[in-house]
Chain A
Amino acid sequence: MTLTDWFNKRKIQQIAARDNDIHIDDSVGKLWTLCYNCSSQLPKKDLENNLMVCPNCDYHFRIGAKERIKLIADEGSFIEMYSNIKPCDPLNFVDTQSYKMRQQSASAKSGLDEAVIVGTCLIDNQKTAIAVMDFEYMGGSMGSVVGEKITRILEYALENRLPSIVFTASGGARMQESALSLMQMAKTSCIVAKLNEAKLLYITVLCEPTFGGVTASFGTIGDIIIAEKGARIGFAGRRVIEQTIRQKLPADFQTAEYLLKCGQIDFIVERKNMKEKLSKLIFLHTKK
């Protein structure tokens, strides 16, 4: 065996071993989750029992709309509405994949048929209209359906004089519907204007992550703007800003904590206290 052969053999062995490693990691991944923040390996069960918050560093993992509703609504009180509104493809949009295909794979991935669930529920026995966005469905992006469902539930709140809460988690407006998505920003803001005039409480809870068209419309015009602990919130993405101003941004830039310092949000809430805080807010705003 020449020296080169020896090296080659070793290389092949290494590559083979690498494949094995990945395989092992995969099966472990189902039981363990790596914390993005402190890199500790967490048993998935423990994490779930702790409301998807890392017990070591308090990092709040993203959660889906359904999980969030369970944490907020009194047990069994949530009634989903307007679930008959479904997306289509008005522009026949095709990038590297067609929009229709993306919708299908998003549904399969998230188990939802759009990026928001809306309805009414009781929060400590107070009837409330809620809309909860889900980042798993196409990055929680806002197209016609998201805009329409949010508008409808807020209209319902207006007609029935209910307080309303929107939980955001979105990368922004959905590119595949182009200007139609843009107009959803106007549509949702117009209904909030009506809630203002009717003096009805409208609370927004900005969750990880909230960006672009959602930040620049119904997300930041709440009577009360809350951010979930650690959530990243902004208008433009971090990379775009860094490229524009050609500077490194502070590590905590666009986090909830940073925005609180800048006076952009009312306060930050940890997931475990969310329901209690919302319940109190509604109570304090209701005429007795």
Chain B
Amino acid sequence: MSNNDKKVQILDFEKPLYDAENKIEEFKKMSSETKINYDDQIKKLEEQTKVYKKELYEKLEPYQKLQIARHPQRPNFMDYVQFMCEEFIELHGDRHGCDDKAIAGGIARIEGHNVMLIGTMKGKSTKENLECNFGMPQPQGYRKALRLFEHANRFDLPIITLVDTMGAYPGMLAEEAGQGEAIAVNLKEMAKLSVPTIAVITGEGCSGGALGLAVSNKVMILEHAYYTVISPEGCASILWKDASMARVATDALKITGEDLLKFGIVDEVIKEPTGGAHYDAKQMADNLKEALLKALDEFKSMDEEQIREQRYSKFRSMGVFLQ
């Protein structure tokens, strides 16, 4: 069931599907070895599996989506760069003594559009993960992003941010360097930018750490990605005083693209390949690229003031209350 060369890690709820597909393979092998014709049975089984597969992935529970969003083989920022960009020159450093690897960025060319492409970086091996701190930026990472925002603003480059983070890093040095302030300044400065900004939540969009890159004219989310104020585990341990209630908290927090669309928090949900982005990174990148090009087009005719005003009024209207 994989299009990748590397074997896909199966999630617990995919197990029955995986077993059924293995059975079919076994039948096929047996039929060719024994020269007995099982074609009818195989065909029937394949039909059934197909229906089951469709149902399984169309009716994913929030918690299952969460597992897909956190899949260790989910395409990361550099995968998207590779699949989407004709050119990419990475720019490093915050110019204040640090280059946080959890946030990467650079000037890119996508289908003839020059853009500033910035994203949180997760690794695929332990070594890579340690290097980029499991995708949890330090304050210096947000300041690096801010430097790139300002650069893009100066040279009229639209800004695309790809967000996949468990949140800003909760460490002692991070606090001393002003984690809260670094995020807050980004929120404020992103509001001032006069180039179009597009953010895509590609995996995990947890709390202020994600928002620090996503005060954008258009915010999109991948089909199985999630966006929330706190991780379901964190929420469960605070409100239920029991981290094992994460599944219930996931439902309560309404973190899926569908729910976020309803509340106007995201503008668009981008379709993923069947089973999730990790089954076909190339296809995912194509879908993402198409959505990005469409979004870039939407802002083409707007002048600087209109771009700022559109962004401002979009965030101004967020929230639900009585009056």
Contact = CB atoms under 8 A, between A and B. Distances in A.
Interface of A: 84-88, 90-91, 93-96, 143-145, 147-148, 151, 173-175, 177-187, 189-194, 196-197, 212-213, 215-221, 234-237, 240-241, 244-245, 247, 249, 253-254, 262, 264
Given A220-B180, A234-B180, A241 B321 contact: no
Contacts of B177: 262
A178 B206 CA distance: 11
A183 B320 contact: no
Given A179-B260, A182-B207, A241-B171, A189 B184 contact: yes
Contacts of B254: 91, 178-179
A145 B241 CA distance: 26
Contacts of B132: none
Nearest to A212: B208
A236 B211 contact: no
Interface of B: 168-172, 174-181, 183-185, 187-189, 191-192, 207-208, 211-212, 215, 227-230, 234-235, 238-241, 249, 252-255, 260, 263, 265, 311-312, 315-316, 318-323
B178 A262 contact: yes
A178 B229 contact: yes
B208 A93 contact: no
Given A180-B263, A182-B211, A221-B184, 6 more contacts: A88-B321, A186-B191, A187-B318, A213-B208, A220-B181, A241-B175
A182 B188 contact: no
B315 A216 contact: no
Nearest to B308: A193
A193 B192 contact: yes
B228 A184 contact: no
Contact of A90 (B185, B191, B212, B263): B263
B265 A234 contact: no
Given A95-B252, A234-B175, A186 B318 contact: yes
B192 A186 contact: no
A187 B315 contact: yes
Contact of A175 (B178, B185, B188, B239): B239
A245 B171 contact: yes
21 contacts: A88-B320, A91-B254, A95-B249, A96-B239, A175-B235, A179-B253, A179-B260, A179-B263, A180-B318, A183-B265, A186-B315, A189-B215, A192-B188, A194-B191, A218-B184, A219-B180, A221-B187, A235-B179, A245-B172, A249-B172, A262-B177
Contacts of A86: 321-323
Contact of A87 (B188, B238, B312, B322): B322
Given A190-B188, A190-B215, A192-B188, A182 B229 contact: yes
A76 to B, nearest CB: 27
B192 A215 contact: no
Nearest to A206: B180
B319 A96 contact: no
B181 to A, nearest CB: 4
Contacts of A186: 187, 191, 211, 215, 315, 318
A113 B175 CA distance: 32
Contacts of A254: 175
A5 to B, nearest CB: 40
B171 A244 contact: yes
A90 B187 contact: no
Q: Which 9 A-B pairs have the closest CB atoms?
A: A236-B170, A215-B180, A144-B319, A189-B187, A235-B180, A90-B320, A95-B239, A183-B318, A193-B191
Contacts of B318: 144, 147, 180, 183-184, 186-187
Contacts of B312: 190, 194
B191 A182 contact: no
A213 B263 contact: no
Nearest to B241: A96
A247 B173 CA distance: 12
Nearest to B322: A86
Nearest to A183: B318
A92 B229 CA distance: 16
A90 B240 CA distance: 20
A252 to B, nearest CB: 12
A94 B318 CA distance: 22
A221 B180 CA distance: 10
Contacts of B227: 179, 182
A179 B171 CA distance: 24
